[in-house]
């Protein structure tokens, strides 16, 4: 079973409580600053109207200034063509997922199928050099027929047959989606079938004629973060107005979402309501015929899988009175848990070391498979439950790589595994979790000449003495004289791990042209488990930025590069990191690419989905927490007379997660202070800033032209 998509609600940080903690008590209203007072004198509040006429006119005018500069560079056309050729390459290895009958499905985009094809083949055909594919749904044809800008966001198919599917479609890449029932046998949408109008919503099949759905049932019935807090069952043929409520959270929650545990035969074993009380704390409520029963689990924990009668849970806080530690993987006998929800005993499945973390969990028919990080390098372990508890065996996959668990079969023990590295194209393996046999099924072609570069791992020392690992991908013959054009990337938040991975576009457009590429494993991420994330939360946020500056300085001290040749890039939370780097340590960098960023941290909780991230950054409405945020908030810390490099800021109009106002206001304020700034707003594309491969190639070419001008020229 795949890891719960909304694990973001299931907590990803450390808490040393001896029992399942209660939700954090709300701050009294009199101790909070009214939201209307935060940023009320900001002259750019009008930019928060996401598609307001004035804001869109401004964005188009900025594009009109930036694109001629970057696209007018003699290198642009070649870089865009190279990026597009890689992205559209017919010899790309298609990633696939198993279906109930053992066939494989894939979503594919290329120059001919810009919006994409959802298609199927057999395993035997997939093993061949040129598999024979059968189209299930053509998104380009659908968009043309409906005069819509559809972006395919996936399909949820009812097991075990998996012929009835809920197709998720987004207008231009937004998080808000439309859901429609589809029949893969007739290759058509089901007449009179399930339809959920556009909205930010979560759903799951209960049976062929019933869905469990969380959405905005009535106007305004969403949390302050903009997500659902009421779950209802929707019966086939019913209007949404007739849906029956089964669970209700509160407006102050982040969201409430459904989670269904099924066995390998597709039989529902438990239905759970995830109540995200904060971004990292969630109550789990077992939904029964007699109502909801709260499970005795730490708030900072996430349900990962069900296999062999066991419900598997990952702990992101200590559960001391039960004998468990942060990062442990534990399991419950589900039947016993349902019979006695408050007294069932848990069993230890796996305890990572201080340098390890659980990255992924999946199941085959009878096995649990876990992907681990060990000092930011991948490993995979197969665990079997028996009378004596859990036993463990390793899959003998290539070392010093990043390992990803792909789709698994419910009918047997097979699963797909990917192996990749910075200089090693991804290989696709078919593993048998029962026999531990491995078969390399596919290997991605090389997209750039990797023979000229090597990969090294170093450590920098942060301001508090913590060792911060980072990877350097550099030319073999680089001279340690500070002259190497170097791009440093980092994220540093939400327990997201930065692991080695192959990027054909980055390799072609940067490494092959003599560039050095660096990835920093700073705190806030998940490289060393929940504690690594927790170390950078809220009042400790500056540690994340100090880690990044330490890596930057270490690169300079080792003379791998110099401030003249050092550029940085980051997106979303990483875009916030870029803004902090700009305002706190601009002397370290000559280029900064700020992608779909958070930037105005005083108002962040009021725009986009920002209210859901208070657990990460703190609440600006609480004076003590705002005082911490104000010290690093890039927007309010932009000042005249500083030695800021010319930055390149990117965003997307359709981003309904991190609102484009962050990027807009950053660019506007920089210009008002007299600084040159390059700004590009993609009119489509959502939070990924691209709705199709052509737009992705354009964005990447713009970035590498900018970096070339700043660091290579």
Catalytic residues: 572, 687
Beta-bridge mates of residue 285: 273, 294
Instruction: Please give the Cα distance from 114 to 419 (Å, whole number).
Output: 27
Q: Tell me which residue of 351, 373, 372 sits closest to 361, measured CA to CA.
A: 372
Are 429 and 419 in contact, with CB atoms under 8 Å apart?
Answer: yes
Per the structure block, which two tokens stand in for 572?
A: 């979303």
- Going by their DSSP bridges, the two strands 291-294 and 301-307 should be labelled as unpaired
Give the strand order in the sheet containing 377-386. 356-363, 367-374, 377-386, 389-394
Neighbouring C-beta atoms of residue 440, cutoff 10 Å? 12
DSSP 245-307: EEEE--TTSSEEEEEEEE-TTS-EEEEEEEEESSSS-EEEEEEETTEEEE----SSEEEEEEE
Are 596 and 651 in contact, with CB atoms under 8 Å apart?
Answer: yes
Q: Tell me which residue of 361, 376, 365 sits closest to 329, measured CA to CA.
A: 361
| Interacting residues of 445 by C-beta distance below 8 A, sequence separation 6+ | 89, 91, 425
Beta-bridge mates of residue 97: 105
What angle separates helix 661-672 from helix 573-584, to the nearest 10 degrees? 20
Give the strand order in the sheet containing 677-682. 453-461, 467-475, 516-520, 486-489, 566-571, 591-595, 647-652, 677-682
Q: How many CA atoms lie within 13 A of 83 on its CB side?
A: 24
Three-state SS at 640: coil
Are 365 and 540 in contact, with CB atoms under 8 Å apart?
Answer: no
Per the structure block, which two tokens stand in for 1?
A: 């079973």
- Going by their DSSP bridges, the two strands 486-489 and 516-520 should be labelled as parallel
Beta-bridge mates of residue 330: 313, 348
Q: What angle do CA 421, 426, 427 make, to 5 degrees?
A: 120
Q: Tell me which residue of 636, 462, 438 sits closest to 546, measured CA to CA.
A: 462
Per the structure block, which two tokens stand in for 435?
A: 């026999």
Tokens 């905005």 correspond to what residue? 216
Residue 108: Cβ-neighbour burial (10 angstroms; 0-12, 13-18, 19+): middle
B/e letters for 208-222, b = 16+ CB within 10 Å, e = fewer, are eebbbbbbbbeeeeb
Q: List % helix, strand, coil for the chain (3-state, nearest 5).
A: 25, 30, 40
Three-state SS at 74: coil
DSSP 468-493: EEEEEEEETT--SSS---EEEE----
Task: Compute the Cα dihedral for 644, 647, 653, 654 and give only its sign.
Answer: negative
Three-state SS at 562: coil
Three-state SS at 318: coil
Q: Tell me which residue of 687, 536, 546, 548 sits closest to 617, measured CA to CA.
A: 536
């Amino acid at each position: 079973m795949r890891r719960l998509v909304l694990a973001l609600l299931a907590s990803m940080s450390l808490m040393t409580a001896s029992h399942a903690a209660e939700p954090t008590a709300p701050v009294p209203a009199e101790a909070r600053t009214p939201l209307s007072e935060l940023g009320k004198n900001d002259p750019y509040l009008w930019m928060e109207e996401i598609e307001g006429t004035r804001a869109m006119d401004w964005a188009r005018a900025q594009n009109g200034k930036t694109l001629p500069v970057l696209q007018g560079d003699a290198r642009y056309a070649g870089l865009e063509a190279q990026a597009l050729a890689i992205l559209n390459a017919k010899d790309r290895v298609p990633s696939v997922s198993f279906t109930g009958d053992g066939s494989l499905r894939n979503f594919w985009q290329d120059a001919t199928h810009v919006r994409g094809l959802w298609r199927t083949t057999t395993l035997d055909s997939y093993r061949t050099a040129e598999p024979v594919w059968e189209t299930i749904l053509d998104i380009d044809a659908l968009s043309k027929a409906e005069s819509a800008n559809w972006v395919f966001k996936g399909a949820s198919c009812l097991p075990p047959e998996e012929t009835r599917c809920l197709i998720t479609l987004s207008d231009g890449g937004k998080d808000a989606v439309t859901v429609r029932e589809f029949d893969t046998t007739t290759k058509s949408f089901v007449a009179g079938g399930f339809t959920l109008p556009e909205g930010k919503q979560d759903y799951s099949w209960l049976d062929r004629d019933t869905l469990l759905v969380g959405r905005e049932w009535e106007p305004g019935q969403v949390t302050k973060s903009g997500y659902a807090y009421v779950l209802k069952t929707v019966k086939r043929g019913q209007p949404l107005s007739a849906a029956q409520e089964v669970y209700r959270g509160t407006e102050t929650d982040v969201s409430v979402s459904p989670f269904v545990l099924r066995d390998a035969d597709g039989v529902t074993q438990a239905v759970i309501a995830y109540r995200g009380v904060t971004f990292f704390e969630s109550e789990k409520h077992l939904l029964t015929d007699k109502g909801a029963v709260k499970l005795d689990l730490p708030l900072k924990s996430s349900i990962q899988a069900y296999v062999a009668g066991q419900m598997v849970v990952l702990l992101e806080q200590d559960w001391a009175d039960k004998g468990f530690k942060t990062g442990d993987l534990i399991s419950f006998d589900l039947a016993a848990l349902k019979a006695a929800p408050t007294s069932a005993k848990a069993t230890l499945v796996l305890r990572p070391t201080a340098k390890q973390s659980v990255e992924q969990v999946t199941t085959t028919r009878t096995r649990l498979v876990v992907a681990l990080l060990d000092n930011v390098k991948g490993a995979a372990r197969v665990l079997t439950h028996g009378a004596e508890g859990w036993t463990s065996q390793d899959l003998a996959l290539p070392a010093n790589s990043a390992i990803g668990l792909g789709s698994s079969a419910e009918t047997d023990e097979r699963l797909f595994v990917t192996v990749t590295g910075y200089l090693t194209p991804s290989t696709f393996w078919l593993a048998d979790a029962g026999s531990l046999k491995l078969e390399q099924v596919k290997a991605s072609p090389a997209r750039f000449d990797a023979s000229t570069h090597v990969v090294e791992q170093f450590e920098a020392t942060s301001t508090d003495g913590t060792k911060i690992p980072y990877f350097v991908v550099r030319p073999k013959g680089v001279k340690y004289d500070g002259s190497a054009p170097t791009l440093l990337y980092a994220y540093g938040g939400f327990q997201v791990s930065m692991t080695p991975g192959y990027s054909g576009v980055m390799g072609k457009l940067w490494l092959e042209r003599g560039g050095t590429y660096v990835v920093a494993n700073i705190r806030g991420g998940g490289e060393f488990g929940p504690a690594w994330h927790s170390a950078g939360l809220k009042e400790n946020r500056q540690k994340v930025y100090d880690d990044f500056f330490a890596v930057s300085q270490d690169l300079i001290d080792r003379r791998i590069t110099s401030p003249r040749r050092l550029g940085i890039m980051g997106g979303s939370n990483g875009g916030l990191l870029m803004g902090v780097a700009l305002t706190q340590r601009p002397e370290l960098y000559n280029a900064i690419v700020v992608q779909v960023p958070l930037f105005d941290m005083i108002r962040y909780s009021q725009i986009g989905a920002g209210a859901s991230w208070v657990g990460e950054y703190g609440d600006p409405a609480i004076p003590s927490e705002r005082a911490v945020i104000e010290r690093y908030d890039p927007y309010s810390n932009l000042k005249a007379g500083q030695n800021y490099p010319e930055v390149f800021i990117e965003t997307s109009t359709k981003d309904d997660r991190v609102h484009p106002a962050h990027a807009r206001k950053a660019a506007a304020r920089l210009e008002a202070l007299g600084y040159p700034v390059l700004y590009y707003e993609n009119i489509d594309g959502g939070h990924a800033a691209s709705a199709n491969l052509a737009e992705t190639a354009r964005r990447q070419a713009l970035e590498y032209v900018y970096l070339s001008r700043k660091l290579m020229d």
